[in-house]
Amino acid sequence: MDQHIAEAIGRPDLIRLDDRLVCLRFETMKVVSALAAVRHLLDTGVVRRGDTLLDSSSGIYAYALALACHRHGMHCHVVGSTTVDRTLRTQLAVLGATLEQMEPCDDLKLDQKRRVERIHEILAAHPEYHWMRQYHDDIHYLGYRAIADRIREETGTERLTVVGGVGSGASTGALTRYLRDAPGDLPGHASGHAPTNAPAPTTAPSTAPTGGPSGVRTGAAPADVELVGVQPYGSLTFGAQHTSDPEIIIAGIGSSIPFGNVSHELYDTLHWISFDAALSGAVDLLRRHAVFAGLSTGAAYLAARHEHDRAPERTVLFIAPDTGHRYTDTVYTRHREATPLAHLAPRDIADQTELALPWSRMLWNRTPTPRFAA
């Protein structure tokens, strides 16, 4: 029996939608990451019950951290994006979390810049607060180990393709590192790849996965696990900062600043997907499979279907990080605008100069972190 609701919320469902097409569905994915990170900080003495944990969030992580703090008797302070909606603001308030939300802004880069600046102001005034640094501290990998084990048991890791929004890099990165490693091979210490422009970590050494410079298990042939990352147009992470989407930003899967938790060398293929295409994917997923999920899930589903069609001998698993409730007004009420998926296909490109809406696909081939993302 679970001891707290956060433990139930963080437990995903594995749903087989079609032959070799699997959905890893979360109610709120980052809860599993936040719970494990906070537990590790407590166990290593970095923080104590009653301390205040601080971070920036565009939505899901704010709720996850608030639940983790509630579970462990701690205070939560979040600097939130303009994308934090009324429902989440209310939940955070009732949970006792402090939310400082940025003023409305259509510029993702400016929104993130303001949040980081505010974090530093808060830390200057309250040096006793602990900054969780979800974008840079690889303790956020820890919670995905048990999930990777379950995927390995239920789907295997032979000819497995994982598809998911990149975002902070923790979910896709951790799952892939753990899945590519044999269950007993991981020594349990991360490489600590914070970017050069980030402050030095304030935590004890974490137990996130390694196994060689690219996270592949040592002493054995790597499991056949491919990773496909999904990005919005305008995201710096894989070099699309010169593009833009005329519709709203797909929150949580891209960035205008470098993230230390993104291990570029793990990714085999990238898909850049527009709001309109992601909307079509989300609507089709609900209509065809009755899975009610968010906009980034619609994008991942679209990419996963394409990868499944290209290699039907592989099992393709895509990550659905949240439910569709917060997207009812912006996505699902527009379901009649959805394009039939049979009419959508990506443009295969050789480099980022060829990027074009609504959907582009490029081989990344596990290339190390490029200079623009370092």
Condensed to tens digits (0 to 9), the pLDDT of residues 351-372 reads 999 999 999 999 999 999 998 8
State the average pLDDT for the chain.
89
Q: How would residue 285 be classed by pLDDT, with cut points 50, 70 and 90?
A: very high
Section 293-310 average pLDDT: 98
Judge whether residue 66 has pLDDT over 80. Answer: yes
pLDDT at 69 over 70: yes
* Predicted local distance difference test score (pLDDT) of residue 220: 53
Backbone angles phi, psi at 131, to 5 degrees: -85, 120
- What is the structure's pLDDT at 221? 58
Of the chain, the percentage scoring pLDDT greater than 90 comes to 76
Quick one: average pLDDT of 55-59? 89
- Pick the residue with more confidence: 150 or 208? 150
Least confident of 20-24, 305-309, 357-361, 369-373: 369-373
Q: What is the pLDDT of residue 84?
A: 86
Whether residue 205 has pLDDT greater than 80? no
Per-residue pLDDT of 84-124, as tens digits, reads 889 999 999 999 999 999 887 766 677 778 899 999 999 99
Q: What number of CA atoms fall less than 13 Å from residue 234's CA on the CB side? A: 20
Range of weakest confidence among 72-81, 175-184, 286-295, 313-322: 175-184
| Phi/psi-derived region of residue 267, left when phi > 0, alpha when psi is between -120 and 50, beta in every other case | beta
Q: What is the mean pLDDT of residues 254-264?
A: 92
- 189 pLDDT exceeds 80? no
Q: pLDDT tier at 245 (50, 70, 90 boundaries)? A: very high
Mean pLDDT lowest among 78-87, 205-214, 218-227, 251-260: 205-214
Please list the alpha-helical segments (H only) found in the chain.
5-9, 30-43, 60-72, 86-95, 108-125, 145-155, 170-180, 275-289, 295-310
State the average pLDDT over residues 189-195.
Answer: 38
pTM given for the model = 0.89
Instruction: Describe the crossing of helices 275-289 and 295-310 by its angle, rounded to 10 degrees.
Output: 80
Residues 6+ apart with CB under 8 A from 302: 271, 273, 277, 278, 280, 281, 341, 344, 359
Taking the C-alpha atoms of residue 341 and residue 88, their distance in angstroms, rounded to an integer, is 31
Q: What is the reported pLDDT for 112?
A: 79
User: Per the omega criterion (within 30 degrees of 0), is the bond before 358 cis?
Assistant: yes
